Amino acid sequence: MAANSENKLQLVHSHIRAFPDFPKEGILFRDICPILKDPAALTAVTDLFEEHVRQNHKQVELIVGLDARGFLFGPLLAQRLGVGFVLIRKKGKLPGATASVAYDLEYGKAEAEVQEDSVAPRQKVLLIDDLLATGGTMYAAIQLMKKQQADILGCMVVIELKELNGVDKLKPHSVFSLVQY
């Protein structure tokens, strides 16, 4: 990794806060809010994602962001790349005809959906979110994109919690993470 990229990665890392016992006892929550508050840190995240995509996924046509923090990074990246952005939302939040999948979360169950006309069959997509923990939410997004017959190029996250092995659930899809704990 180039020195400039390494500096950006250090900047991102320095803007992630840890909150013990949130949202419940025994969980160490990694907070990205300081990244969003600092223009240089937010630019660094976008730069690092853009660099990765331009080097590895030149054929991408859509960035697909997961509710809700994928919405923070995805549109910025899509704009930089000159491609579209699509939302995957929690059930009941999108108008019109939707496709949906049910999935398990770390703390319960949920359902995700996408507007049926937002992704065309064979469109090349990259999924983006802030965090990969157990992989449940990203796995649901992958299943949703498969329902849409999209070509999934990979997944991207700001933070990966390695000890929870979320990447194993997403195989054979690749996961690119900026920061790992």
C-alpha to C-alpha distance for 105 and 124, rounded to whole angstroms: 26
What tens digit of pLDDT does each residue of 61-82 get? 999 999 999 999 999 999 999 9
C-alpha to C-alpha distance for 83 and 17, rounded to whole angstroms: 31
- Across the chain, what does the average pLDDT equal? 96
Which are the catalytic amino acids? Answer: 69, 106
Residue closest to 86 by CA, chosen among 57, 124, 51: 124
Q: Encoding tokens for residue 83?
A: 């491609």
pLDDT at 65: 98
Share of the chain above pLDDT 70, in %: 98
- Let me know how long the chain is: 181
Query: What is 3-180's CATH number, 3.30.110.30, 3.40.50.970, 3.40.50.2020, 3.40.50.11900?
Result: 3.40.50.2020
Q: Report the pLDDT averaged over residues 94-123.
A: 92
What are the DSSP calls for 25-91, one per residue?
TT-EEEE-HHHHH-HHHHHHHHHHHHHHHHHH-TT--EEEEETTTHHHHHHHHHHHHT-EEEEEEET
What are the DSSP calls for 97-164, one per residue?
SEEEEEEEETTEEEEEEEETTSS-TT-EEEEEEEEESSSHHHHHHHHHHHHTT-EEEEEEEEEE-GGG
pLDDT at 1: 64
pLDDT at 106: 63
Q: Report the pLDDT averaged over residues 90-116.
A: 91
pLDDT reading at 135 higher than 90 = yes
Is the backbone of residue 26 left (phi > 0), alpha (psi -120 to 50) or beta?
left
**What angle, rounded to 10 degrees, do the helices at 3-14 and 39-56 form?**
130
pLDDT interval class at 167 (50, 70, 90): very high
**What values do phi and psi take at 37, rounded to 5?**
-75, -25
The pTM for the full model equals 0.95
pLDDT reading at 104 higher than 90 = no
pLDDT at 107: 66
What tens digit of pLDDT does each residue of 32-67 get? 999 999 999 999 999 999 999 999 999 999 999 999
